[in-house]
Chain A
């Protein structure tokens, strides 16, 4: 028997009474996905102007870190926002990607591009190993299990000194070369990060509108209900967890080859906690949320530099304000504005 497609779960909850045919068509998953991909194309065309706008290599490299953070947060948003599972080891997978690719290149002379692929696959594989037992847990128990895994990885990063360089970090990681062309400066590496993160956004959009993506969202809604409709909730969550880890592993490998240096504290569980916060700030389970989360995660620490020691306090206080007054995140604020505008237009038309 052919499996029946699930009804689309619209992620904006605007209006909602008796959808007209036109509205239903707009919310059909594939149409939504096409629209999202068009927007991604447009946004990435705009981002392509960044090297022209950026005055120096420092500003340009912020753009690169934005794309790397987008990979991290976008992947995490799939598991947390759409899958409803709390994962606190995204920074662990990030570090795993960085160290696998970095160590392979530094100690074994593996070509960086191959290393990046191995790192991505390795992160996904380790997510499989830890996800098999951990994803059977729910809520806080899952959060703590993933946090514990991140902590164990952190200890390994700083204690396997002969491989990773220990607390001093791994230095002299070679840059990626593409077809004999060395991506060793920011203006060249930018395009790799630009392309990879754009590709991830397109893949996410396709994934979310596919059967697997809709299944994942159904699982987040109710595991029992989705299970009774022929979805295997466990497999669905495991696949999302692996995809998210692969994104983080890829981000880590890119980070290592761009930065040419990696040190353990970048990948501690404190980073994992912050990444979760960024998912929430950007907009929990909203497609565009990670873009905002990545902007905040990249720009705010730089902007707060001038506060020096007070940086952490400003950050914490800002987080409290956002959590109190913007519980749906920055992307949610956009939807809220849109709804307000639509209402305004409707009332004008009525009068």
Chain B
């Protein structure tokens, strides 16, 4: 019983991070229709920049802020300098370009910040908190709390603010939105900034638990994408549900069945979702199915 509870807790924290990665995917998928292969690299970059700044004796809060800003800058620059120059920005062309940007981001991090794994201390120490017989790493609370906050904030942003509504309008009908005076390119840049910022934040909050290094991004990105798929591509609450479901499923399978095949669980879940319920748990609307 205790083991299951511990597994559920670790699943909850990794699931929260998957949820944040999935959120970034969804935001960009909605605005461009492309798969953002760089999302995982942005998460890794966030963790690496924060860890490097912290190692240079910056205060923790400043290191995290600096990481988020740096990654947002990278994303905005790639959007402005590269993606905007594509002559025919079809979903496929953008997806291929995102692969190239992911390769560049990864190698830049490797060249500038080194190949060694980097670490951050827990935001409030690493003394486990005792709660009924469970020893919980305090970082778990930070991860779950920040994820909930970010989810609520994005929800509020897209539902209540003018800017968020404008972005949804562009996602739904770019031409009509342009006729109403919304600049579609501005919406695209904004979605890149948002996705990168959320991704970088996810990278910094998970680093105290798992360490990070330049080659962690790719797998994290794909697991986040599985989470987005599981919850329903393009649905924001779906990202949260998909992420947490994937995290707990993975932790339970890894702990109770076999730790060897833990990594396959996410992808088996992805395939089953696609084959049985391609709209995901919360997704609705048209899925292109023959």
Residues of A within 8 A of B (CB): 86, 133-141, 143-145, 147-149, 151-152, 155-156, 159, 223, 233-234, 269-270, 273, 276-277, 280, 309-313, 315-317, 319-320, 323-324, 327
Question: What distance in Å separates the Cβ of B105 from its nearest Cβ neighbour in chain A?
Answer: 8
Q: Is B57 an interface residue (CB 8 A)?
A: no
Question: What distance in Å separates the Cβ of A308 from its nearest Cβ neighbour in chain B?
Answer: 10
Could you list 20 A-B pairs, sorted by A, with CB under 8 Å? Answer: A136-B289, A137-B288, A138-B290, A140-B35, A141-B233, A144-B225, A144-B274, A148-B226, A148-B274, A149-B271, A159-B264, A273-B37, A313-B103, A315-B107, A320-B101, A323-B86, A323-B93, A323-B96, A324-B85, A327-B88
Report how far A323 CA is from B37 CA in the complex, Å.
Answer: 16
Q: Is B263 an interface residue (CB 8 A)?
A: yes
Besides A136-B290, A143-B95, A316-B100, 15 other CB < 8 A contacts?
A137-B289, A138-B288, A139-B288, A140-B29, A145-B274, A148-B268, A148-B274, A277-B99, A312-B103, A312-B107, A313-B104, A315-B103, A319-B103, A320-B101, A323-B96
Report how far A151 CA is from B111 CA in the complex, Å.
Answer: 27
Report how far A269 CA is from B263 CA in the complex, Å.
Answer: 13
- Are the CB atoms of B100 and A151 closer together than 8 Å? no
Q: Is B160 an interface residue (CB 8 A)?
A: no
Query: A270 contacts which of B88, B218, B266 (Cβ < 8 Å)?
Result: B218
Query: A152 contacts which of B110, B229, B271 (Cβ < 8 Å)?
Result: B271
Q: 0/1 per residue, B50-85, Cβ < 8 Å to A?
A: 000000000000000000000000000000001001
Residues of B within 8 A of A (CB): 29, 33, 35, 37, 82, 85-88, 91-93, 95-97, 99-104, 106-108, 110-111, 218, 222, 225-226, 229, 233, 260-261, 263-264, 266-268, 270-271, 274-275, 278, 287-290
Chain A residues near B270 (CB-CB < 8 A): 144-145, 148
Question: What distance in Å separates the Cβ of A246 from its nearest Cβ neighbour in chain B?
Answer: 22
In terms of DSSP, what is the predominant structure of the interface of chain A? helix
Given contacts A141-B278, A313-B107, A320-B100, contact A148 B271 (CB under 8 A): yes
- Are the CB atoms of B287 and A141 closer together than 8 Å? yes
Chain A residues near B266 (CB-CB < 8 A): 151
Interface hub of A140, A233, A276 (most chain B Cβ within 10 A): A140
Report how far A240 CA is from B225 CA in the complex, Å.
Answer: 27
Chain B residues near A324 (CB-CB < 8 A): 82, 85-86
- Are the CB atoms of B290 and A233 closer together than 8 Å? yes
